Structure 1
């Protein structure tokens, strides 16, 4: 379950930013996650709750913002929406797609004290 290591990485990032920006508590974390990032959101929520115990993010809310998947089709030279890797182009049916968005996960915003 790589969601545990992702949650631990988020907490590490929060601790680093707390030192750099001088805050002592995290109230809310907004994460942007694309459908191609291969992250199970329920598992991430569970792991986040577990790894934030006794940290500056204990009891912090985790808000997940779903990003759309997007790819460039080499067959018809168009930017097209996709839901998962290896989807066919919805415009021409080609499988020659280059992912341009939707495989990322990043901290978008924090609410801190």
Structure 2
């Protein structure tokens, strides 16, 4: 249920930047390695935005690819499967290095 708190933050950011204008859409970037579920964010968005300048605004989702850092050879590589094997040295020791974020990329407002 962590989508509730992130959706509250998204709404606050979007409304602050809209500066009193009505929102048409909010463009979000969500990392492939984050645990956020688009449908849950949309559900909370509809509830939380009711009665605000964001009511009826559409959420647009873009996915950021996951990336790992090999702990042995220190090379970054994209997540391609669940085994997390480094394609450079075949090590199975890796940590997430990208694709965990969730942020508002842009907003569109009605003029």
Q: TM-score, normalised by structure 2?
A: 0.85
> Equivalents in 1 of 2:80, 2:54: separation in Å?
32
Runs of 4+ in 1 over 4 A off after TM superposition: none
* RMSD across aligned positions (CA): 2.0
Q: State the SS of the aligned residue for 1:36.
A: coil
Q: Is 2:77 aligned against 1:80?
A: yes
Q: Is 2:55 aligned against 1:34?
A: no
Aligned pair count reads 109
> Equivalents in 2 of 1:10, 1:77: separation in Å?
34
> Equivalents in 1 of 2:61, 2:103: separation in Å?
10
Q: How does 1:25-64 map to 2 (within 5 A)?
A: 25-64=22-61
Q: Which residue of 2 aligns with 1:98?
A: 95
Q: State the SS of the aligned residue for 2:14.
A: helix
Q: Is the 8 A contact 2:29 2:102 kept in 1?
A: yes
Q: TM-score, normalised by structure 1?
A: 0.84
Q: Which residue of 1 aligns with 2:6?
A: 6
**What do residues 72-112 of structure 1 show as CA deviations (whole Å, max 9, x unaligned)?**
1122332211268x842242443321322100011001111
Q: Is the 8 A contact 2:70 2:86 kept in 1?
A: no
**Structure 2 CA distance for partners of 1:101 and 1:58, relative to 1, 3 Å:** same
> Equivalents in 2 of 1:71, 1:29: separation in Å?
28
> Equivalents in 2 of 1:58, 1:15: separation in Å?
11
For structure 2, which runs of at least 5 residues remain unmatched after alignment? none
For structure 1, which runs of at least 5 residues remain unmatched after alignment? none
